[in-house]
Structure 1
Amino acid sequence: MTAIRHDATARFRAVAIMLSLGLGLGIWMVGQGLYIKAKAEVAQILLERAWQRTLTSGQPHKAWPWADAWPVARLEIPASGKSQIVLSNASGAALAFGPGHLAGSPLPGSGGTSVIAGHRDTHFSFLRDVKNDDTVIITTTDGLPQRYIVDATEIVDARHAQIDPGLETGIALVTCYPFDAKERGDLRYIVFATPDDDAI
């Protein structure tokens, strides 16, 4: 009888430990997800301040002293209600805080196709809802907004396809695909926009 009670107590302890570990892991995973989203939102507030200083002085300003990127443009998609600061590079560290301008492509508004990349689960999650004929507004450091019209979306394999930055004047917004995937793959979702001739 004592041995049966002892076995039941040991099983109960094992189950309690397993439940505690599972609950702790679940809380940690939810916390990590919330932390990433909160970091992205707070960063945009700090980047907004740096952007305003850049517009005022005409010189680049970092949002925090150790930042490896600084604001180079504001991206707005009125139909999605989105307005974000675009950073000077698209390194992994920079993309944690906002969309970034891809090195090797021209800055927005300077001719050619400017490539701006962002994460599918934070800053560029809204790209799935962008439609043809939506307006994209890019404001550069001169403070002048430039209007573009979305004219195509494309899913490409990054191993075999590249955007030619010299092909035509426009904007290419790039993120990983599919949007709901949990792991990074080779597919990219691209929104192409060309200058709004009616705005010129």
Structure 2
Amino acid sequence: MRSPSALVGAVLVLAGAAVLAVALTGYLHSPAWQASHAEEVLPAATRLHGAGPPTGFPFARLRIQKIGLSVTVIEGTEPRDLLRAPGHLVGSALPGQPENCIIAGHRDLHFRHLGSLRPGDRVDLEGANGTAVYQVESAQVIDPSKTSVLDPGDQPVLTLVTCYPFHYIGPAPRRFVVVARLVAMSGRGPH
């Protein structure tokens, strides 16, 4: 017969394994979801009057060649959705519009190499109305209380937000923010 402490230890090990399995399911599901939505962009008809897709649906394609990133971005920033893809903050500007287009992502998933971006680097955001080409202006670490980076503004900018530090176990206490200015808009437009 096993001692009570051995039984408690076994239960704790099993509980830990279950928690780990649940967490890994989201991380392992992300690449499969990304692959199945790799080229999906909503039709221009869904963009009338600045409306985005429903929450959780593909919004755009984010490409940053410097860091080897090419991912589908979804509408919304619900925690379960951010396990699949970076999310467009509902209510922020659409790609190329004259306000702040905000995209959030996990530091240990899709945005794990965001810290390598420097001023002058190119960021492409392909949406239903074409491809917005941005140029990085700044990349900085901020406190979460500095919410001014989420303000709409009046210039066409793209703001990428993730937690910081990148290689940290546990809740990250700060944010890493990349701000890029629109330099070109190409491709299809609403007809």
TM-score higher than 0.5? yes
Q: Secondary structure at the match of 2:113?
A: helix
Letter in 2 for 1:114: C
Counterpart residue number, 1:130: 117
Larger Rg: 1
Alignment deviations for residues 123-142 of structure 1 (CA, whole Å, 9 cap, x no partner): 21121222222210011112
Letter in 1 for 2:110: H
Counterpart residue number, 2:181: 194
Is residue 147 from structure 1 mapped to residue 139 from structure 2 by the alignment?
no
Select the residue among 43, 56, 70 that pairs with 2:33.
43
Higher helix share goes to which structure?
Answer: 1
| In 2: Cα distance, 1:19 partner to 1:69 partner | 40
The structure, 1 or 2, with the larger RCO (C-alpha pairs under 8 Å, 6+ apart) is 2
| In 1: Cα distance, 2:181 partner to 2:155 partner | 8
Equivalent pair of 1:109/1:140 in contact (CA under 8 Å):
no
Alignment of 1:148-167 (within 5 A): 148-163=134-149, 164-167=151-154
Letter in 1 for 2:84: F
Number of residues of Structure 1 aligned to a counterpart in Structure 2 = 178
Letter in 2 for 1:37: Y
Alignment deviations for residues 48-75 of structure 1 (CA, whole Å, 9 cap, x no partner): 36x25x24x7448xxxxxx842112111
| In 2: Cα distance, 1:139 partner to 1:125 partner | 21
Deviation at 1:146, TM superposition (A): 1.8
Q: Secondary structure at the match of 1:79?
A: helix
Percent of pairs with identical residues: 27
Tell me whether 188-197 or 40-49 shows the greater mean CA deviation.
40-49
Select the residue among 158, 169, 176 that pairs with 1:182.
169
Q: Secondary structure at the match of 1:165?
A: coil
Q: Secondary structure at the match of 2:152?
A: coil
Q: Which runs of 5 or more structure 2 residues have no equivalent in the other structure?
A: 48-53, 187-191
Higher strand share goes to which structure?
Answer: 2
Alignment of 1:1-200 (within 5 A): 28=18, 31-32=21-22, 34-48=24-38, 51-52=40-41, 54-55=42-43, 58-59=45-46, 68-142=55-129, 144-163=130-149, 164-196=151-183
TM-score, normalised via structure 2 length: 0.76
